[in-house]
């Protein structure tokens, strides 16, 4: 994550302005761990070079605790490395890592390191790119993500 700001500064002057526009995302996450839960979230990421994306997202949902359920919130900052940033193949793999802060009633605010692997595509509607993502850190999560498509590249 410490390299992310350097990646933002290292963009070439020749890159088009539209390729650097923020990319919005919507996500639904399921945690199949013993404290099973579901969450929905929104996020934003920016291009940090041709192969890297740096983003932040927030999610809120419910998890099982004892005989009931409680609300949980999480904010996550993740850097992703895209193996196919130009969309040359129908699906593109990515991996990355970052940091998450989680808050649930009765628990202290907790920070976790996060590792992410996912696959984007195929290109959805004209405006979205679907992705499936597995994240580890504070428990395992499986997410379905819909990102807005950038005008140039992915």
Give the pLDDT confidence of 49-59 residue by residue, as tens digits: 999 999 999 99
Element spanning 41, H or E: strand 37-47
Residue 28 within any structural domain of the chain: yes
**Look-up: residue for tokens 């140039």?**
152
Collapsed DSSP state (helix, strand, coil) of residue 17: helix
Cis status, amide bond into 122, omega within 30 of 0? yes
Residue 13 within any structural domain of the chain: no
Instruction: For residue 92, count other CB atoms closer than 10 A to its CB.
Output: 20
Residue 114 within any structural domain of the chain: yes
Residue 138, domain CATH:
2.40.160.20
pLDDT digits (tens, 9 = 90+) for 76-131: 999 999 998 887 888 999 999 999 999 988 888 989 999 999 999 877 667 888 99
Residue 127, token pair as written in the block: 């405006």
Give Cα separations from 16 to 8, 41, 64, 98 (angstroms): 14, 29, 47, 27
Residue 3 within any structural domain of the chain: no
Residue 107 within any structural domain of the chain: yes
pLDDT surpasses 80 at 18: no
Residue 99 within any structural domain of the chain: yes
Domain count, the chain: 1
Domain housing 118: 21-148
d(CA 61, CA 28): 10
Residue 16 within any structural domain of the chain: no
Residue 84 within any structural domain of the chain: yes
Residue 30, token pair as written in the block: 């399921």
């Amino acid at each position: 994550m410490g390299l992310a700001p350097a990646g933002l500064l290292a963009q070439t002057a020749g890159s088009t302005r539209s390729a650097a526009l923020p990319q919005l995302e919507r996500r639904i996450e399921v945690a199949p761990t013993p404290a099973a839960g579901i969450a929905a979230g929104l996020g934003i990421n920016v291009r940090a070079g041709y192969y890297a994306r740096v983003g932040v997202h927030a999610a809120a949902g419910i998890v099982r605790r004892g005989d009931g359920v409680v609300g949980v919130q999480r904010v996550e900052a993740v850097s992703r490395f895209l193996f196919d940033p130009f969309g040359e193949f129908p699906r593109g793999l990515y991996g990355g890592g970052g940091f998450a802060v989680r808050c649930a009633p009765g628990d202290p605010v907790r920070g976790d390191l996060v590792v992410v692997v996912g696959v984007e595509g195929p290109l959805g509607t004209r405006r979205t790119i679907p992705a499936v993502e597995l994240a580890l850190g504070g428990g395992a999560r499986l997410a379905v993500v819909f990102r807005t498509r950038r005008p140039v590249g992915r």
